[in-house]
Amino acid sequence: MADARRYFGTDGIRGKVGVGPITPDFVMKLGWAAGRVLGRSGGKGVLIGKDTRISGYMFESALEAGLSAAGVDILLLGPMPTPGIAYLTRTFHAHAGIVISASHNPFDDNGIKFFSGDGLKLPDDTELAIEAEMDKALATVCSKSLGKAHRITDAAGRYIEFCKSTIALGTSLAGMKIVLDCAHGATYHVAPRVLEELGADVVTIGDEPDGLNINLNCGATDTAQLCREVIAREAHCGIALDGDGDRLIMVDAHGQTVDGDEITFIIARERQKRSALKGAVIGTQMSNLGLEHAVRTLGLDFKRAKVGDRYVMEMLLADGGTLGGETSGHIICLDLTTTGDGIISALQVLDAMNRTGHPLHTLKAGMSKYPQHLVNVRMERMVDVTSLRTVRDAVRQVESELADGGRVLLRPSGTEPVVRVMVEGRDDAQVRRLANDLAAAVQGALTSAA
């Protein structure tokens, strides 16, 4: 069903600003179409939040116009983390929440994604219904039925209190020095206050957004500056969020990064100790084999979803689970909230440090990461490389050499014309050699098939 979608990808609609579909006229029509579909439910308007990109103002106005033309009230949140918008959509009993963000992408990209009234991503049939409305001529409701716009002035404060409530009442981070990188993004005015109000000594970087510097050499996609600051400040740890606040990467006191797989393991182990974990721990096809082995060593089940937090969420809901994550730092604590949340995930790790008295590098030591090498092979056109005989032969040869000590994954990118070739195993040199050999075989097969 999802394959029939023309505009919606796995994480909404995203692209370069000014290039279709990320244009003001398209976004206004999208707001109108969404209002026509989502306004049929019994909610109290549609929330709109955004990250700190300069284009966010333009698209906020376009969505507001479209929704109003459809007769739907609008609640404007201003700059807010994506998970904060999901939370407020639920608490305001809104029709839906709309996020204007391109997440970890550079400032000249932007995108639109939706949350349903329960704070979850829209189901496929709703996205298809919105796309069907896009084919119709925009018709404005009569003037007395136009939607009204209201600005929510206490949105940040509401979300801050919610974040703090996800760890035990009375928990204090006093005595803990933390370097926090907000990626010049949507958490710049929220995350520092959460940590400070819990008692931490916070050194904040990446908290001066100018509309152009979001994710630029900072945040969860580039932790080099954070690593340096943690060491220079002699901090207990570092926290890196991405531009819209749904990703988390951490840094230990030695300046070493702690990725989403390691964070997922730390939370899983702590939840297990308190009998607070349900169902299997969910990773993705890209999750490190070390995470799978570490989780199973705890006596827990581990399952892999397709890459994308949407699919992690789908598997959690189907399995009745409460914890899932991606290597990139999307961590879903479904017992606490309805989407990946960088701030809430960080609090779970800080709480584990508090409860155990162990530093972050000790907590992550319970999981040994397997060497993993990824090579991107460009495609001139979309091809199912697994259907090519020479590629299948090359994969079998690599799997034979790895035996039971590794795995191979070929995965087309959902956002660019490349196929990702990943090999994982116990020996780093072997993994790199096999990944490069397999990538060369894939490239050769694509050339021959062109």
**CATH number, domain at 59?**
3.40.120.10
Question: Are residues 325 and 206 part of one domain?
Answer: yes
Q: What is the pTM of this model?
A: 0.93
DSSP string over 230-249? HHHTT-SEEEEE-TTS--EE
Do 297 and 442 lie in a common domain?
no
Closest to 135 (Cα-Cα) out of 30, 286, 259? 30
Domain of residue 444: give its range: 372-449
**Domain co-membership, 72 together with 89:** yes
163 closest CA partner among 194, 188, 189, 187: 194
Question: pLDDT digit string (tens) for 136-151?
Answer: 999 999 999 999 999 9
Distance CA 258, CA 260 (A): 7
Domain stops at, among 299, 334, 364: 364
What's residue 414's pLDDT? 66
User: pLDDT digit string (tens) for 280-307?
Assistant: 999 999 999 999 999 999 999 999 999 8
Q: Are 14 and 109 in contact (CB under 8 A)?
A: yes
Question: If you search the block for the tokens 């799978």, which residue do you land on?
Answer: 292
Catalytic residues: 103
The average pLDDT across 8-27 equals: 94
pLDDT digits 0-9 by tens, 398-438: 999 998 889 999 988 766 788 999 999 999 999 999 999 99
Task: Among 364, 398, 417, give the residue marking a domain's end.
Answer: 364
Same domain (yes/no): 67, 81: yes
Over residues 208-227, mean pLDDT: 98
Is residue 212 pLDDT above 70, yes or no?
A: yes
Residue 421 has what pLDDT?
A: 95
- pLDDT number for residue 383: 80
What integer best gives the mean pLDDT of the chain? 94
pLDDT of 381 reads 78
Residues 351 and 434 in one domain: no
State the sign of the Cα–Cα–Cα–Cα dihedral 102, 103, 108, 109.
negative
pLDDT at 277: 95
pLDDT-derived band at 42, boundaries 50, 70, 90: low
Neighbours of 338 (CB within 10 A): 20
Given this model, what pLDDT does residue 1 score? 39
Q: Tokens in use for 362? A: 């000790």
Say whether both 195 and 279 belong to one domain. yes
